[in-house]
Amino acid sequence: MTASALPRRLDLSVQYACHRDGVPLRADFRRWLRAAESGAARITVRIVDEAEGRELNRDYRGKDYATNVLTFAYAEGEDMPMPEGLPLMGDLVLCRSVVEREAAEQGKPLAAHYAHLVVHGMLHLQGFDHEADADAELMEARERAILAELGYDDPYALEH
């Protein structure tokens, strides 16, 4: 089966490893993920508390604090490339308390901040990064366009 013949299905698992009050619904995550990737994908979104977020960031990135979103691409760092035509696969881990704190500090609606971080993480799964200035500009432009299509304000407006 060729890549173009693959179904454009989004297999989505949402895991709530903390209380769900104020956390977006599965349908919201699906809409945001679809806006960032319309092709076939298998994605797990996991909402965690600060302790798990800190542990994951420490163990996988060497940074001893909880961060807003962590992205784990299934093929990342593999010695053998993934066979062509497989769906995009990976995990997005969102730390609930960090997302809520940032949204409040930045004066953003909570749903808009979640949407931004999901789109940001999904772009990382597609190979975008923001290490170099030029790459960051490209990634931010793509995020702005996707979020505008979803009806959200520019997430970087206050930074520029």
Residue range 81-137, pLDDT digits in tens: 555 667 889 999 999 999 999 999 999 999 999 999 999 999 999 989 998 999 999
Range with lowest mean pLDDT among 10-19, 24-33, 78-87, 122-131: 78-87
Write down the pLDDT at residue 76.
Answer: 59
Closest CA to 123 of 108, 144, 103, 148: 144
- Strands (E) across 1-156 are located at 10-16, 41-48, 69-73, 88-95
Q: What angle do CA 125, 131, 133 make, to 5 degrees?
A: 120
Q: What is the CATH number of the domain that holds 53?
A: 3.40.390.30
Distance between the two ends of the chain, CA-based, in angstroms?
A: 45
In a domain, 158, yes or no: no
Q: Which domain holds residue 113?
A: 3-149
In a domain, 159, yes or no: no
**Dihedral angle sign, alpha carbons of residues 103, 107, 112, 113:** negative
Q: Provide the pLDDT confidence category of residue 160 given band limits of 50, 70 and 90.
A: low
Structural domain count of the chain: 1
In a domain, 156, yes or no: no
Question: Is pLDDT larger for residue 6 or for residue 11?
Answer: 11
In a domain, 94, yes or no: yes
What span, in angstroms and rounded, lies between the C-alpha atoms of 129 and 124? 6
In a domain, 90, yes or no: yes
% of the chain residues with pLDDT over 90 = 77
pLDDT above 90: residue 14:
yes
